[in-house]
A and B are shown apart, each in its own frame.
Chain A
C-alpha cells in the first residue's frame, strides 16, 4: 500500500531540493563579476541537465544497488536504467514508491556537483566542466552516496534483504541529510579543483566585487526554502522526525546568520548583506547532518557557532593563497565538518536520532564515529577530485586562456552577455550598438 501522506511529502521535498540548484545559480551568479554571471549560472544548469540523465542510467544503481563488498559501492547493474523499479513494491520499502526515493536522491546528486562550481568561478572551460561533472558524480558522488545514504534492510524474520554502505551501517556515523556526502564532499572537491586550476588573474590584487547582491539574496532565500525539502524530506515520511528537523533547520539557520553578521560587525565594522546571505547558507550546511540529532536549542548553538566559524574561515584563502572564488571551502567544507562533528557534542537523546553525546552525559563513542566519517569523505573526495582535475587539465585543458579570462568568459565561451547596460556603457540605445546589431542580422542571412 502506498502511504499517500509520506509519498506526497517525499515528492514535494524532491521538487524543493531541485529548486535549490537554480537558487544556487543565483547565489553564485550574483557573487561573480558581471562578465561571468552566465557561465557561473550555466555550471549549475549543466549539472542539472547531465546528472539527471546519468542518475537514471546508472547513478541510482551505483548508490543504492545491493552492496558489492565492503560497503563501498552499490551493484552497478542491479537497477541499470532503473529497471524493475516501475512496479509498485511499496510493501517492501516502507510505504512509498521506490521511484519517489529515486527522484528525491537524484536532486541531491545534482546540487552536490553544482556546489563545487563556486570554487572555479570565471575561468573553467564549459566543456571541461561538463566532462568533470560526469566523471565526478560517477566515481566520487555515487559511491559516497552509497556509503552514507544506503541503509541495510533487515526483514522481520532477521534475514538481510539489502546491504548498504559502510558509513551508514558499519561505522554508524550520523549524517541525516548529507553533511558528509554533500557538503564535506563538495567542499573538499572545490578545494582540489581550485588548486588544479590555479588563481584567477589578479586574485588578491584586483577588486573582484560581487556584481549583483540582490541576486545573491534571492538565491540564499531559495536555498533556504528548498533546504526544508533537503532536511525534513530526508525523514522520508510525513512524521514527527520531519517536523523536528524542519524547526531545527529554521532556527539553526537564523542563529548562523546572526553569528555571521555579529562577527562582521565586530571585525569589519559593518554587517553586510553578503554576510547575511552567507550566514544563512553556513547555518543550513551545518544543521544538515545534525538536524535529527539535536534539540531546537542545540540547533541554535550549533548554528550560531557555524555562522562565526564560517565567517572566519572564508579568510583562509587569502592566508594560504588558493583562489576558492566563492568560498566553497569556507562555507561548505568548514560548515559540513562542524555540523558533522558537532553531533558528537550536541546530540540530544530525546531528539529523533536518540543519540547521547558528550554534553548530554554520553561517551566519546559517537564523536569518533563522526570524525572518522567526516575525515574519510574529505580525504577520498579531495584526492580523487585532484586526480580527475589534473587528468582533464593535461588532456583537454580545464582553464580558459588569460586573454579570454580578461575579456570575460560569458562572451568567449557562451557568446552572450548577461546584461545590456544601456546607461553605463552605451548599450542598445547607442549608434555603435545598433550598427553592430545590423551587421549580425545581415551576416545571418
Chain B
C-alpha cells in the first residue's frame, strides 16, 4: 500500500478532489498547512516596518491507495493541480506497512 501526499495551492483543492473522484478514489484527508519552497514567502509592510513572511498557505492532501493505483493518483493530482506557475507544490509517494479500518478491524487492502 502507498500513501500519496500532495501539497498544492489552496484554490486548486476542488479540482484535485474532483479529479480523484473521477478515477474512483473513495476517500482522502485534507489539511491547511504553511511552508515554503522555491516560491519563498512575501513581504508585508506595517507603518513602514517591513516583515518577511516566510510561509505561504498551502493545502496538504493525503490519500492511501493500493500499490497499482498510486501512479494513476499521482498523475491525476499533478494534472489537476498544475497552473504552470512557481509555487504549484509537490507530490510524493511513501510505502505503508499496515492499515486498519477502525470500525471493523479489517486490515491491509480490505481496509482501503
Which residue from A209, A264, A315 sits with its C-beta under 8 Å from B44?
A209
**Interface contact A270-B45, CB-CB below 8 Å:** yes
Main secondary structure of the interface of B (DSSP, over half): strand
Query: Smallest CB–CB gap between B17 and chain A, Å?
Result: 18
Q: For chain B residues 1-58, which have a beta carbon within 8 Å of chain A?
A: 32, 44-53
Contact with B along A110-148 (1 / 0, CB 8 A): 000000000000000000000000000000000000000
The verdict on A351 contacting chain B, using a C-beta distance below 8 Å, is no
Q: In this assembly, does A255 line the interface, its C-beta being within 8 Å of a C-beta of chain B? A: no
Closest-by-CB residue of B relative to A213 is B46
A264 touches B53 (CB 8 A): no
Determine the residue in chain B with the shortest Cβ distance to A275.
Answer: B47
Selected from A272, A278, A330, A423, the residue in CB contact (under 8 A) with B45 is A272
Using known A-B contacts A423-B32, A424-B32, determine if residue A264 contacts B49 with beta carbons closer than 8 Å.
Answer: no
Q: How large is the interface on A (under 10, 10 to 19, 20 to 34, 35 or more residues)?
A: 20 to 34
CB interface residues, A 242-272, toward B, < 8 Å = 264, 267-270, 272
CB distance from A33 to the nearest CB of B (A): 12
Q: Which residues of B contact A267 (CB under 8 A)?
A: 48
Whether, in the assembled complex, A318 has its beta carbon less than 8 Å from a beta carbon of chain B, the answer is yes
**How far is the CB of A328 from the nearest CB of chain B, in Å?**
12
Selected from B32, B45, B49, B51, the residue in CB contact (under 8 A) with A318 is B49
Q: Which of A209, A311, A314, A315 contacts B51 (CB 8 A)?
A: A209
Q: Compute how far the CA of A424 lies from the CA of B50 in the bound complex, rounded to whole angstroms.
A: 25
Task: Choose among B32, B48, B52, B53 the residue that contacts A268 (Cβ–Cβ < 8 A).
Answer: B48
Residues 308-333 of chain A, each 1 if its beta carbon lies under 8 Å from chain B, else 0: 00010011001000000001001000
- Complexed CA–CA distance, A327 and B45 (Å): 15
> Would you call A274 an interface residue if the criterion is a C-beta within 8 Å of the partner chain's C-beta atoms?
yes
Residues of B near A315 (CB, < 8 A) are: 47-49
Query: Does A214 belong to the interface (CB within 8 Å)?
Result: no
A278 touches B44 (CB 8 A): no
- Chain A nearest CB from B74 CB (Å) reads 28
Closest residue on chain A to residue B45 by CB atoms: A268
A314 (CB) vs chain B CBs: closest residue: B47
User: Closest residue to A315 on the B side, CB-wise?
Assistant: B48
Which residue of the partner chain B has the closest CB to A270?
A: B45
CB-based nearest B residue for A424:
B32
Say yes or no: is A95 at the interface (Cβ < 8 Å to chain B): no
- Residue A207 interfacial (CB < 8 Å): yes
A210 CA / B32 CA spacing, docked (Å): 22
Size band of the interface chain B makes with A? 10 to 19
Q: Which residue of A lies closest to B49 (CB)?
A: A318
Contact among B32, B48, B53 for A207, CB-based, below 8 A: B53
- Inter-chain CA distance A207–B49, complex, in Å, is 9
Docked-complex contact A274 and B32, CB < 8 angstroms? no
Report the minimum CB–CB distance from B60 to chain A (whole Å). 14
Instruction: Given A423-B32, A424-B32, answer yes or no on A274-B51 (Cβ-Cβ < 8 Å).
Output: no
B45 A210 Cβ-Cβ under 8 A: no
Chain A residue at minimal CB-CB distance from B50: A268
Interchain CB contact under 8 A, A272 and B49: no
Q: Mark A178-211, 1 if CB is under 8 A from B, else 0.
A: 0000000000000000000000000000010110
CB distance from A199 to the nearest CB of B (A): 14
Q: A207-B53, A423-B32, A424-B32 are in contact. Are A274 and B44 (CB under 8 A)?
A: no
CA distance A268 to B51 in the complex (A): 12
Chain B residue numbers with a CB within 8 Å of A207 are 51-53
CB contacts (< 8 Å) of B51 on chain A: these are 207, 209
User: In the complex, what distance in Å separates the CA atom of A269 from the CA atom of B42?
Assistant: 14
| CB nearest to A318 among chain B residues | B49
A314 close to B45 (CB less than 8 A):
no
Of the residues A209, A314, A423, A424, contact of B48 by C-beta under 8 Å:
A314
- Please give me the residue from chain A that is nearest to B47 by CB atom: A314
B-contact bits for A263-291, CB 8 A (1 contact / 0 none): 01001111010110010000000000000
CA distance in complex: A315, B45 (Å): 12
Tell me, in angstroms, the Cα distance from A275 to B47 when the chains sit together.
6
Least CB separation from A326: chain B residue: B47
Report if A272-B32 is in contact (Cβ < 8 Å); known contacts: A207-B51, A209-B51: no
Q: List 22 A-B contacts (CB under 8 A).
A: A207-B52, A209-B44, A209-B46, A209-B51, A210-B46, A264-B48, A267-B48, A268-B45, A268-B50, A272-B46, A272-B47, A274-B47, A275-B47, A278-B47, A311-B47, A314-B48, A315-B47, A315-B48, A315-B49, A318-B49, A327-B47, A424-B32
The 3 closest A-B pairs by CB, nearest first: A207-B51, A268-B45, A314-B47
